[in-house]
Chains A and B, each alone.
Chain A
Amino acid sequence: MATLPIARPRLARAQPGPRPRTLVSSSQLNLPRGKIIYRIVLTLVVVIFTLVFIGPLYFLFSDGLKSTTEAVQVPPTLIPAHVHPSTYVSAWSRVGLGRLLFNTLYYAFGALFFQLIFDVTAAYSLSKLRPAGGKLIFALMLATLMIPSTVLLVPQYITVANLPILHLNLIGSPAAIWLPSVANAFNIFLLKRFFDSVPQELLHAAAIDGASPLRTLRSVVLPISRPILAVVSIFALVAVWKDFLWPLLVEYGYNPSRETLNVGIYEAANTTPQNLVLAASAMAAVPTVIFFLVFQRNILSGLIAGSLKG
């Protein structure tokens, strides 16, 4: 992917050209002593970081292969003495991972769908159509960034259980996860800032050709907004995938069969042998690890673009 237009120019510039000057000068590093020290530091960093960050994952995956007694054996074995791939199979059926995975994917992609529809149209409207009162609405949306969602846990739960005016109860319905995810000021902010950078002339040209605002959005604005749509989509999926407390309340609390991966494995952990818990945790981690390896470029650049906003 090309450099994200949402990243500020100063950020984007860091990549090409000669290596930017950092704390230690290149001339210092090119001295024989510098070279040796650099080699030592590099090796240490790579080894320590691999141990610290991959090491636990090694145990996550390998301890799931142990037998139930070996998993709780004292002292713990570093390499499974007897490999039991069947642990993964029984963990899958015992924890009901198929159902958990389906639920989580259903909630995640539903949330993504609603966020793309409502947040993109809203940001487009605020950026390009500029309705009366748009500035106020945008300010009110941004104000919600100041109130972290966990603080609103109880009133949000009560509201979802009985929506004002409509008197709908969404508890237990996937909409209890999908619709609140739309109220994401950060999405609106990122999208609106991107749309602001789309030249007005493009929209005029579309309008002269008789395109409606919806048509303009679909055929002109969206095709050039792919980078930001990727960022928003990735974060939408990851947010649902990682959420714990909200799905615990609105889905599991209603009916345990609607729980997500996080909640399901947590609930099963108390009554399941340790090796099965680890095997289930490992399998739950696989999709996110693959997802990360595939989209790491977008994820890392999106993270930086989002945090260095201003």
Chain B
Amino acid sequence: MVAIARKADPAPHLGRSRAAASLGRKARRNVSAHGFLIGAVLCFFFFSWYPMYREVIMSFQKTQLGVTSWAGWANYIRIFHDPTFWVAWRNTLEFTVLALIVGYAVPFFVAILLNELRHAKGYLRCLVYLPVMLPPTSALLLFAYFYDPNYGLFNDILHTLHLPTSQWVQSPGTTIPSMAMISVVIAATWMNMGGATLIYLAALQNIPGELYEAAELDGAGLVKKIRHITIPQTRLILSMLLMLQIVATMQMFVEAFILTNGGAGVNNNTLSVVNLIYTYAFALSGASNYDSASALGVVLMLVLAIFSGTYLWLTRDRDHG
């Protein structure tokens, strides 16, 4: 991911000075260099590295009445036996797949469209990215208002068009895909698609125009040009963003949490894995269970590591290519 062009030693002319002096200078340089690093390193230690280690350790421990002891795989076995664990994973995968179908394909085609326009480019780019900047609570409470089955705008539109109305996020169904989850995906896509769109747009501008010219000489139409030039030429960005989006969508929390006031939805049909971690650890009144939450955190970490590992591998590839 990081190609560091190592430069020559910054002070080659020191070679002639006395060894002891050079050693002293080196030591002093190192001290000040570490002094510059220490603040960030401490923050990384306390808030990133140590919690990572702590999560794995805690997932194998149990704490009862303030006494901590080793629990082996008990926490994992317990969460695997919890039916909501499977519901949460099913919902999270459902959200991820739906969010990818909508939130991955739509920005790509929007970007292709925007790239063709000669006017209003700046305006459209700003429009698409504006929702990304909104505080999530503002955007989601607004959507909750639109989704309201009684006085919401969406049902009013459906009603005016003589279409059947919907309960939206409050739909009780648990079939896949459930209306409740589709509603969450719509809101999430509206909020988040700007980032992906602009990244695609930048990638599209890197495609050499000659390729399209050559394809036209071969008589390729619009669809063929997209299939045989645009997509292959942006394949790397497409696959990188795919991994990033999988990692981001599998951490879904705030969307369902605000839209359904707590995230579980009706019959747990919008409960996500992160929400279950939160529920285990903080929301079960009086019975905060950090051990189960940690075990679930480790499981999620392993699943996400597969995708972020693939992402790192893809970006590394790009460096050498």
Interface residues of A (CB under 8 A from B): 10-11, 14, 19-25, 29, 38, 41-42, 45-46, 49-50, 52-54, 56-57, 59-60, 63, 71-76, 114, 117-119, 121-122, 124-126, 128-132, 134, 137-138, 140-142, 144-148, 150-160, 163-164, 179-180, 182-183, 185, 188-189, 193, 196, 200, 203-204, 212-213, 238, 241-242, 244-245, 249, 253, 261-263, 265-266, 269-270, 274, 277-278, 281-282, 284-285, 288-289, 291-293, 296, 299-300, 303-304, 307-310
Taking a contact as CB atoms under 8 Å apart, the answer to whether A22 and B209 are in contact is: yes
Of listed B34, B213, B257, B318, residue having the most chain A CB within 10 A: B34
Cβ-closest 9 pairs across A and B: A21-B209, A131-B33, A122-B40, A129-B33, A118-B39, A125-B36, A182-B43, A155-B51, A281-B138
Taking a contact as CB atoms under 8 Å apart, the answer to whether A159 and B205 are in contact is: no
B84 contacts the other chain (Cβ, under 8 Å)?
Answer: no
Taking a contact as CB atoms under 8 Å apart, the answer to whether A183 and B40 are in contact is: yes
B264 contacts the other chain (Cβ, under 8 Å)?
Answer: no
Taking a contact as CB atoms under 8 Å apart, the answer to whether B138 and A265 are in contact is: yes
Taking a contact as CB atoms under 8 Å apart, the answer to whether A53 and B112 are in contact is: no
Interface SS, B side = helix
Residues of A within 8 A of B141 (CB): 265-266, 269, 277-278, 281
Interface residues of B (CB under 8 A from A): 1-5, 7, 10, 29-30, 32-34, 36-37, 39-41, 43-44, 46-52, 54-55, 58, 112-120, 123-131, 133-139, 141-143, 145-146, 148, 150-153, 156, 159-160, 190, 195, 198-199, 202-210, 212-213, 216, 222, 225-226, 230, 237, 241, 247-248, 251, 253-254, 257-258, 261, 274, 277-278, 281-282, 290, 293-294, 297, 300-301, 304-305, 308-309, 312, 315, 318-319
Nearest-neighbor residue (CB-CB) of A288 within chain B: B133
8 Å CB contact of A244 from B30, B32, B133, B137? B137
Q: In the complex the two chains form, what is the Cα distance from A300 to B199 in whole Å?
A: 9
Taking a contact as CB atoms under 8 Å apart, the answer to whether A153 and B49 are in contact is: no
Least distance between B290 CB and chain A CB atoms (Å): 5
Nearest-neighbor residue (CB-CB) of A132 within chain B: B30
Taking a contact as CB atoms under 8 Å apart, the answer to whether B133 and A292 are in contact is: yes
Q: In the complex the two chains form, what is the Cα distance from A231 to B314 in whole Å?
A: 25
Q: In the complex the two chains form, what is the Cα distance from A118 to B202 in whole Å?
A: 31
Q: In the complex the two chains form, what is the Cα distance from A43 to B134 in whole Å?
A: 26
Residues of A within 8 A of B39 (CB): 114, 117-118, 121-122, 182
8 Å CB contact of B49 from A22, A41, A144, A261? A144
